[in-house]
Amino acid sequence: SCCGGRERDQGTMDVKDGELVLKASGWEHLYIPEPSVSNYAITGHESQVVSMALQPGESLQGEPGTMMYLSHGIQQGVSCEGFLGRCCSGEACYVVNYTNESDDSNKAYVALTPNYPTAKVVPVDLSSPNVNGTLIAQQGAYMASYGNVEIDISLDCNFCRCCCSGLGLVRQKLSGDGTAFLAATGTIVQKVLGEGETILVDTNCVLAFAESCKLDLRRAGGILGMIGGGEGIFNTTLTGPGLVIVQSMNETMFQEALVADKMYRR
């Protein structure tokens, strides 16, 4: 009926409506290229898998223990070059190199998956003008990379920020012009901030942001807000320009929820 239709329009939202709300807010779903225009594909909704097609002579780097399968022609090798930066930023001392050493001109395939359950794979093209070659990420976020990607550390020596911003003193710094694959949990959304644009983010939700973005803190309201608001004393602010990626639940929150035999609101 007409009345019933009106009640439905006012009381519910379909998927299209939800997409419009997300777009209007300035946020968007994580962009993953179609396999037809990319040499990799990400499959699954939870515990995702990234499958990469490698031409002869090409290589993919990954964390130890992330390999799911390899096709014929792929050879594995382990290196420890740059181990200090990796270890200090929450990664293993070693990195595994998967190289297509086929004698013919055929592609070979590598499939990797994150080391912890329910994780999602987050691709970031470091050559994008919204990243401009350098990405700052939470410790341990790196999972794999294709092309020129270097892992190092970024130090935040501001006492308040390193204690309360959610990323700590030592953050992960990924630089180059290749593609980095991060591991994250929850729902992943991204936003490209304009010059001087600022957003407020829960301290547990920051996954990564372009180095051009400025990270800072803002008090979570008054005394009652800080005590009873559920967000702690501070929230994190990020000011553009550049790409920001946030997650609805980080790995630590997920582990704490499992230990406590409960799931948080996120």
Q: Which two tokens stand for residue 138?
A: 């939470």
Alpha-carbon gap, residue 185 to 146, rounded angstroms: 21
Alpha-carbon gap, residue 246 to 228, rounded angstroms: 24
The CA distances from residue 219 to 112, 129, 156, 229, in Å, are 40, 32, 19, 11
- What is the model's pLDDT at position 259? 67
Q: pLDDT per residue over 153-174, tens digit each?
A: 888 777 777 666 667 778 899 9
Residue 143 burial (CB < 10 Å; 0-12/13-18/19+)? Answer: buried
Q: pLDDT per residue over 113-145, tens digit each?
A: 998 888 899 999 999 999 999 999 988 899 999
Beta bridge partners of 244: 191, 209
CA angle 28, 30, 35 (to 5 degrees): 130
Phi and psi, residue 214, nearest 5°:
-105, 125
Residue 149 pLDDT more than 60?
yes
**Most confidently modeled of 58-62, 159-163, 185-189?**
58-62
For 172, the 3-state DSSP assignment is: strand
Nearest residue to 86 (alpha-carbon basis) of 153, 180, 162: 153
Residue 3 pLDDT more than 70?
no
Alpha-carbon gap, residue 60 to 70, rounded angstroms: 12
- What is the model's pLDDT at position 35? 63
Residue 230 pLDDT more than 60?
no
Upper half-sphere CA count for residue 138 (Cβ side, 13 Å): 22
Residue 160: partners with Cβ closer than 8 Å, 6 or more residues away = 217, 234
